Structure formats: structure tokens, C-alpha cells
């Protein structure tokens, strides 16, 4: 073995050790635990036959997709504005938009309760108007919580991509008579497509596995992380909890893999 090959082998050893200890072994243990129940590997077929589990998976995926789309729409608009304009307080505004990254999921859920819970600000205003508005413990509350911590993840990727767009391309389109909407549709958004795909995939994956916010808000809602938690802690159904965890991981991995194929290495950078 040459010295160069030996160096590569030594350099790859820490990566291989990390992958084995924190990726392969936990996944293998999850699969083994899922197959250790009385149903064996047929537990995965059982998940598809139980309406509760299937509905939880579909609801979680739908909620995550809606959060991703909303985060992309808001972050793209804000990100393009912040990249194209310089004004007093711009750095402070960027800091405020990315501030939710510092909060754990439980804190985000608590803030949604303070805003839209039974004693929240929105319900107090609604009471004054003779109505009632409690959104915190519903899919709407979860949507707001997930959106709150998804926007910073998306906007950072969008701003980084927008700063790399050559202004001459947009100027050329305008000089040829393109309207602002046409410039956005035909020049800006195509240039941002890899970043949009990457950041959307990251937002989707984060929302799919978010537990702290769901634990705080999903009192009467079955989203997949909460179903896994209840099966593991309350029902002591380790095989089903492990199988659901594998399914959750596979769905997220497939989406990230597809996004990586569409957007190249931007997904890795976005994560």
C-alpha cells in the first residue's frame, strides 16, 4: 500500500467510525427492534392497515409540505428584498428573522400558546369582539409553530443564492422589455430553483421530525412524532414505535435524496 493510500485510509477512519456508531448501528437497532415483536417484519404491513398510523403519516407529510411551501414563499420575498436593498436596521432585521433558530421546539410551542391559546392574545382580542379564537391546539397552531422555525432555515439559503445572481442578467431582460413579473419568472426564480428545492427539502424534513413543538401543541392531534412517543412511552409497544421511526426516517431520506438529485450539492449546504 502506498503512502498516499495509507493517508486516505487513516483520514477516512474517523468518518467511518462516526457513520458506524451514529448512523448505521442506530438504524440497524431500530430495524431489529421493529422485527422483534410478535408480528416480525410484517409490522410494516400492519402500519399500512391501521388507519391511525396511516392518517398520522399522511397528515404529518401534508402539514410539512404546506409549511415548506409557505416558508419558501415568505422567505423568497423577504430574502430578495433584503439582498437587493440596503437600509438602516437591515442587519438587525436579518438577525430578528433568523432569531428563531435559537429557540428549542418547546419554547416555540409555548410562544404559540401565548399568542393563540385559550388565554392568548388573539383569543383575548376575539373575546372583546364577542368571538373566540383558539388556534394553538390544532393543525393551525402546529402550522404556525413549524412555520416560525422553518422561515430562518429557508431565508438563509435563499439569500445566499440570491447574492450570487448576476444583476446583468436581470438588466438585460429589462432592456429587452420584460416586465418585473417576467424578470422574476424567467430569470430570478430559475436561478434560485436549486436553493428553493434545497431549502424546501430541509424545511420539510425538519417539520416531519419536529417533536418539541408537537409535544407542546398536539394535545388532540396525531402527528407521527407524537404517535411514536405515545407508542414507546405509554403503550410500551417498542416494535411499532421502532417501525414508525424507520418509516419516518425513510420518507424524509427519500425526499432529501430526491431534492439532492434535483438541486445538486445545495441540499448538503442548506443542512
- 11 with 81, same domain? no
Over residues 5-27, the mean pLDDT reads 78
Over residues 261-269, the mean pLDDT reads 55
CA distances from 144 to 40, 147, 154 (A): 39, 5, 15
Residues 116, 123: contact at Cβ < 8 Å? yes
pLDDT, residue 264, reads 60
| Domain membership of residue 23 as a residue range | 1-35
Residues 162, 75: contact at Cβ < 8 Å? no
pLDDT, residue 25, reads 83
Over residues 200-204, the mean pLDDT reads 92
- 127 with 203, same domain? yes
Counted domains in the chain:
2
- 77 with 155, same domain? yes
Whether 8 has a pLDDT exceeding 50, the answer reads yes
Whether 231 has a pLDDT exceeding 80, the answer reads yes
d(CA 127, CA 118): 11
Lowest mean pLDDT among 79-88, 219-228, 248-257, 261-270: 261-270
Q: Using CA of residue 197, residue 200, residue 201, residue 202, what is the dihedral sign?
A: positive
CATH of residue 193's domain is: 1.10.3720.10
Average pLDDT, the chain: 86
Amino acid at each position: 500500500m502506498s503512502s498516499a493510500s495509507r493517508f486516505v485510509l487513516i483520514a477516512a477512519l474517523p468518518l467511518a467510525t462516526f457513520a458506524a456508531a451514529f448512523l448505521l448501528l442506530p438504524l440497524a437497532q431500530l430495524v431489529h427492534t421493529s422485527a422483534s415483536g410478535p408480528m416480525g417484519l410484517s409490522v410494516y404491513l400492519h402500519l399500512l392497515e391501521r388507519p391511525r398510523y396511516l392518517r398520522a403519516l399522511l397528515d404529518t407529510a401534508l402539514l410539512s409540505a404546506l409549511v415548506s411551501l409557505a416558508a419558501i414563499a415568505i422567505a423568497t420575498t423577504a430574502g430578495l428584498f433584503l439582498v437587493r436593498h440596503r437600509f438602516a436596521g437591515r442587519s438587525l432585521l436579518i438577525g430578528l428573522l433568523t432569531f428563531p433558530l435559537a429557540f428549542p421546539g418547546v419554547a416555540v410551542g409555548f410562544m404559540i400558546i401565548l399568542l393563540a391559546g385559550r388565554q392568548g392574545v388573539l383569543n383575548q382580542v376575539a373575546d372583546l369582539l364577542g368571538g373566540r379564537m383558539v388556534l394553538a391546539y390544532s393543525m393551525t397552531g402546529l402550522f404556525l409553530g413549524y412555520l416560525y422555525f422553518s422561515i430562518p432555515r429557508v431565508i438563509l439559503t435563499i439569500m445566499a443564492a440570491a447574492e450570487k445572481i448576476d444583476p446583468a442578467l436581470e438588466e438585460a431582460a429589462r432592456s429587452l422589455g420584460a416586465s418585473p413579473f417576467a424578470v422574476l419568472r424567467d430569470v430570478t426564480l430559475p436561478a434560485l430553483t436549486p436553493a428553493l428545492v434545497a431549502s424546501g427539502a430541509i424545511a420539510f424534513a425538519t417539520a416531519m421530525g419536529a417533536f418539541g413543538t408537537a409535544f407542546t401543541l398536539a394535545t388532540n392531534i396525531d402527528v407521527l412524532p407524537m404517535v411514536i412517543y405515545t407508542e414507546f412511552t405509554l403503550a410500551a409497544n417498542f416494535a411499532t414505535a421502532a417501525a414508525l421511526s424507520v418509516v419516518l426516517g425513510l420518507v424524509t431520506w427519500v425526499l432529501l435524496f430526491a431534492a439532492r438529485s434535483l438541486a445538486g450539492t445545495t441540499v448538503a449546504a442548506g443542512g
